[in-house]
Structure 1
Amino acid sequence: MRTKIGPGILVAAAFIGPGTVTACTLAGVKFGTALLWAMLLSIVATVVLQEMAARLGIITQKGLAGVLKTELTIPWFRSLALLVVLSAIVIGNAAYEAGNIGGATLGLEVFFGQGYRQFYPWIIGLVAFVLLYLSSYKALEKVFVILVGIMSVSFLTTAIITGPDIKKVAQGLFMPEVPEGSLLTIIALVGTTVVPYNLFLHASLVREKWNSAAGLSDARKDTLISVFLGGLVSMAIIVSAAAIPGDQLESVMDLARGLEPLYGDAAKYFMGVGLFAAGVTSAITAPLAAAYVAGSVFGWEKGTKHFKFRLVWILVLISGVSVLSFDINPIQVIKFAQVANGILLPFIAVFLVWMVNKKGIMGNYKNDIWQNILAITILLLATVLGLKSLVQVFGILQ
């Protein structure tokens, strides 16, 4: 039977945003293909966590925040937990939305130059608004399949154009090493792939596609294929960046310009198309995730057409456009988002593992021993990542 690609493709599109593209670019520039193993590890962790979130969503037919709200019985703790979730996801995504729209804007600059730069955020914002406002979930799904397809072809073609050394690529994937000064880059690669809000987004979206345990097999295939494809794109960016001599590149557009003299205009344009697609997809999924979380927490009726649901994603979208259009300095807000997400990842991972082990919630579909071994290993990784994220943010501030 043909695999039904669905919510997983939105998850992949969400984590391949401008932040991931930039992190992968810097990893390739500074350390070549040596850190490909960190991306492979991130993909495995993402598949495991997203599968659990999708399974929880299908079996309970609730969003992740909705299950948290039901299962946490101590009032003050439930309120605190939901406040942390709301703050990190809604306010955090509002902060990062500027980066998503900014990434798509850079893609437009490759083709149309910087002369109309002030209009690009509004164009991207309008595209995202129209898709979110007019599209049903099924329509969005089709749009994302197309956009992720374009993004994948663009970045993979860029990597192929550079003619990578296959032996070095294989060593980077399967022979882990931690070069001097690479720890924060490894954390960035994991942190941009294992995304907390994707767990909420996935648990909510699977209910739009499957309403019974009969859909679990398709959901697992969808998660595996989509996240693997997203990981392949991330690896392609690392490989492309590794081909550039020197270590002076600081952004993906520096990468595009660096590829031009070596490999011609084609590499630059493929990179521009890929960055535009990455920015647009993340600019749509971040507001969508925020709206789903708010809907679960406040018990709004299910459906993307609900007024309050739309109001949340509209506010997130407007915040991103406004920051870019009026030169508002988003540093303090982004700093809060980083701290909140650093705390949220291990926090949510703990509750996710707890919930998928409860017979009363999952019945016969709770975790088996091997799933728990993988989950606990990833939980330890998430905890270390959370602590390192906090240290990094406060270190930057000093």
Structure 2
Amino acid sequence: MSSANNATNNTSIMSTIGKGIALFLPGIFLLGFNIGTGSVTAMAKAGADYGMTLIWTIVASCLCTFFMINLYGRYTLITGETALQAFRKHIHPAVGIFFIIALSVGVCGSVMGVMGIVADICYEWSKTIVAGGISPIAFSAFFIALVYFIFWNGNTQFFERSLAVIVALMSACFLINFFIMMPPAADILHGLIPSIPEVPLGSDKGPLLVIASMVGTTVFSGLFIIRTTLVKEAGWTIKDYKQQKLDAIVSVSLMFVISASIMAAAAGTLFVEGITLTSASQMITLLEPLAGSLAVSIFALGLVAAGVSSQFPNVLMLPWLLCDYSDSKRDMTLPKFRVIVFFISLLGLVVPIFEARPIFVMIISQAFNAVILPITVACIFYLSNKKELMGQYKNTWVANSILGLILAFSLFTSYVGIKGVFALLSA
């Protein structure tokens, strides 16, 4: 009898834990999407080149992200429409098509960069175990096959729970590294004061482009578009507003902690030694003599987890956007979607096969995300102020003031990104 009671209690506990995790799956999905190798690269380069002086950018970006996630999510709670459906119905179909094309192009570039960085990291890491290391192509093919296998065999819930495990692993790795390699607390506090680092005339360092890439990888338009799809699929209504807001708080708080931890790891080691970062694999070879093999192994594991976690939503982006725009059921078992995901996944072999260096492409890609951000802000500004759609939940003057500030911030980072790219190309 006692054994039966214990089994029942254990089942009840596991069920409670499972339900608790399920409540935050939309936020966990966004975290996995947001913190990928592009984010790691941008934050690590910022820390290596400028120490903790740009941590204010992470704070500003996370605050903007929270407000935008919450606003887009609230729109879906009230209207039952996802972002692309709203763009098509209430603004113009061309706006929805623009986002499908722009986000898909960005995702294809990200897939190439992510797998290139993950393969490069694993190759350098494998040299410590196998003489000469294991080919980057082999690593890239393995992770592509792993993600596609989970996509092929798992339903949405299985997919999200697999992502939650990988995100938990990634978070633990980067947090452990923060405490191993953290810079002085005074440097962290000083970096909270907004400033743009001065660089010597003729230097190849470009803080403007790094700032734009940091904003682009954190305040990512794709997050807000996909957020509305996840909220609708969760079945949330305006009665669940508090849960939606709490989910957004948890997601963005973890974004800040992980991003700051990555920057701090590079600032506490590479910046102190005056070593700049030009490729992701340098994080393995350069950190080992400075932080030790254990710290490097943990960091490499975190990088791989970040790459795989972002690859999940990357390969799903285009099919989800197409379903969203057409207001059709999100059935990923349809042959057309399996073919789309297959060919998008194969892009992960481009960098290892052609031996390209993805860090430049990744930073340009993240800066490009910052360029499309103003359009994303303008769209929700228009929608959330339409009384016939929002009713009593129409934006207050406070919300509109904050949106105005975010729009100004996004226009500034777009300008910074464009200027930084031209400066880098002409250097």
Residue 216 of structure 2 aligns with which residue? 191
Residue 264 of structure 1 aligns with which residue? 292
Say yes or no: does 1:87 pair with 2:106: no
What is the deviation of 1:69?
0.4
Moved more, 12-21 or 356-365: 356-365
- Give SS of 1:251's match: coil
One-letter amino acid matched to 1:21: V
What is the deviation of 1:79?
4.4
- 1:127-155 CA-to-partner distances (Å, cap 9, x unmatched) read 11122222222222222221111111111
Say yes or no: does 1:179 pair with 2:179: no
Question: CA separation in 1, counterparts of 2:95 and 2:251?
Answer: 30
Match of 1:351 among 354, 379, 390: 379
Relative to the length of structure 1, the TM-score reads: 0.89
Residue 389 of structure 2 aligns with which residue? 361
One-letter amino acid matched to 1:304: M
Matches within 5 A, 1:369-388: 369-388=397-416
Matches within 5 A, 1:135-146: 135-146=154-165
Question: CA separation in 1, counterparts of 2:292 and 2:300?
Answer: 13
Unaligned runs of 5+ in 2: 1-15, 128-132, 200-206
- 1:187-238 CA-to-partner distances (Å, cap 9, x unmatched) read 2211111111111111111122133222221111111111210221110011
Question: CA separation in 2, counterparts of 1:123 and 1:81?
Answer: 37
Match of 1:255 among 283, 297, 303: 283
Residues 275 and 338 of structure 1, relative CA distance in 2, 3 Å threshold: closer
- Give SS of 1:24's match: helix
Match of 1:15 among 34, 40, 64: 34
Relative to the length of structure 2, the TM-score reads: 0.84
Say yes or no: does 1:98 pair with 2:112: yes
One-letter amino acid matched to 2:56: W
Contact kept? 1:92, 1:341, Cα under 8 Å: yes
Unaligned runs of 5+ in 1: 73-77
Residues 168 and 122 of structure 1, relative CA distance in 2, 3 Å threshold: same
Residue 282 of structure 1 aligns with which residue? 310
Residues 235 and 12 of structure 1, relative CA distance in 2, 3 Å threshold: same
What is the deviation of 1:269?
0.4
Match of 2:87 among 45, 68, 75: 68
Question: CA separation in 2, counterparts of 1:58 and 1:290?
Answer: 23
Question: CA separation in 2, counterparts of 1:334 and 1:187?
Answer: 12
What is the deviation of 1:347?
0.8
Root-mean-square deviation (CA, aligned residues, Å) is 2.7
Question: CA separation in 2, counterparts of 1:65 and 1:331?
Answer: 31
Question: CA separation in 1, counterparts of 2:253 and 2:118?
Answer: 23
What is the deviation of 1:93?
0.8
Structure showing greater radius of gyration is 2
Contact kept? 1:295, 1:309, Cα under 8 Å: no
Question: CA separation in 2, counterparts of 1:134 and 1:184?
Answer: 40
Question: CA separation in 2, counterparts of 1:67 and 1:187?
Answer: 28
What percentage of residue pairs aligned between the two structures are identical? 25
- Give SS of 2:294's match: helix
Contact kept? 1:110, 1:268, Cα under 8 Å: no
Matches within 5 A, 1:304-323: 304-323=332-351
Question: CA separation in 2, counterparts of 1:332 and 1:250?
Answer: 8
What is the deviation of 1:43?
0.6
What is the deviation of 1:335?
10
Residue 229 of structure 1 aligns with which residue? 254
- Give SS of 1:66's match: helix
What is the deviation of 1:272?
0.7
One-letter amino acid matched to 2:119: T
Question: CA separation in 1, counterparts of 2:139 and 2:408?
Answer: 41
- Give SS of 1:49's match: helix
One-letter amino acid matched to 1:106: D
- 1:286-334 CA-to-partner distances (Å, cap 9, x unmatched) read 1222222122234433343344444433332222334544558999998
- Give SS of 2:346's match: helix
Contact kept? 2:53, 2:190, Cα under 8 Å: yes
What is the deviation of 1:345?
1.3
Contact kept? 2:332, 2:338, Cα under 8 Å: yes
Match of 1:170 among 183, 189, 206: 189
Residues 199 and 29 of structure 1, relative CA distance in 2, 3 Å threshold: same
Question: CA separation in 1, counterparts of 2:415 and 2:360?
Answer: 19
Say yes or no: does 1:301 pair with 2:329: yes
Contact kept? 2:212, 2:370, Cα under 8 Å: no
Question: CA separation in 1, counterparts of 2:413 and 2:290?
Answer: 37
One-letter amino acid matched to 1:211: W
What is the deviation of 1:366?
3.2
Question: CA separation in 1, counterparts of 2:40 and 2:359?
Answer: 20
- Give SS of 1:287's match: helix
Question: CA separation in 2, counterparts of 1:207 and 1:84?
Answer: 22
One-letter amino acid matched to 2:393: Y
Residue 75 of structure 1 aligns with which residue? none
Say yes or no: does 1:212 pair with 2:237: yes
Question: CA separation in 2, counterparts of 1:369 and 1:384?
Answer: 22
Contact kept? 1:51, 1:220, Cα under 8 Å: yes
- Give SS of 1:302's match: coil
Residue 63 of structure 2 aligns with which residue? 44
Question: CA separation in 2, counterparts of 1:83 and 1:197?
Answer: 14
Residues 297 and 339 of structure 1, relative CA distance in 2, 3 Å threshold: farther
Contact kept? 2:117, 2:281, Cα under 8 Å: no
One-letter amino acid matched to 1:176: P
Aligned length: 392
Residue 319 of structure 2 aligns with which residue? 291
